Amino acid sequence: MNSPELFPSLLKIISALSVTLGLMIMVAYLFKKILKKGSGAINGKELIKILSTKYLGPKSSIMLINVLGNTLLIGVSSSKISLLTEIVDSESLEQLEDLQGKEGKSASFSDYLKGVLKKNG
């Protein structure tokens, strides 16, 4: 191949690559937008928030979630989801809010359990 033939071939390859990447980015953007619509938010406010997750083993975990203002502790396994308890104790809820406020994000479940254990023991 001489150099006069190399430049048009290189230009074709670069243009094909840029069109392909552009299409991939557009599909990813649309996919993300479609998933966001089905997220369960109403008027931009989340109805279900996962506050913390603690993995116990393969395909099993404990999750602390907030559903419409109710704080629930659920167990998740590969075959089912079980409600362990609903946290209604005002002291526990205040402690959880304090942990969330300090970190600026969701409090970790282990921090919450450490606080409860300190209070009880």
Domain boundaries along the sequence of the chain: 1-38, 41-120
CA distance 58 to 61: 8
CA distance 94 to 32: 35
Question: Does residue 102 contact residue 89 with C-beta atoms inside 8 Å?
Answer: no
Q: Residue 120 is inside which H or E element, if any?
A: helix 109-120
pLDDT score for 5: 82
CA distance 34 to 38: 7
Q: Going residue by residue through the chain (121 aa), what tens digit of pLDDT does each one get?
A: 456 788 888 999 999 999 999 999 999 998 888 777 665 566 666 778 888 888 988 889 999 888 887 888 899 998 999 998 888 887 877 777 777 666 555 556 676 677 767 766 6
Q: Is the model's pTM score more than 0.75?
A: no
Sign of the dihedral defined by the CA atoms of residues 28, 78, 53, 92, in that order: positive
Q: Classify the phi-psi angles of 83: left when phi > 0, otherwise alpha if psi is within -120 to 50, otherwise beta.
A: beta
Count Cβ atoms below 10 Å from residue 67 Cβ, excluding itself. Answer: 13
Question: Does residue 52 contact residue 106 with C-beta atoms inside 8 Å?
Answer: yes
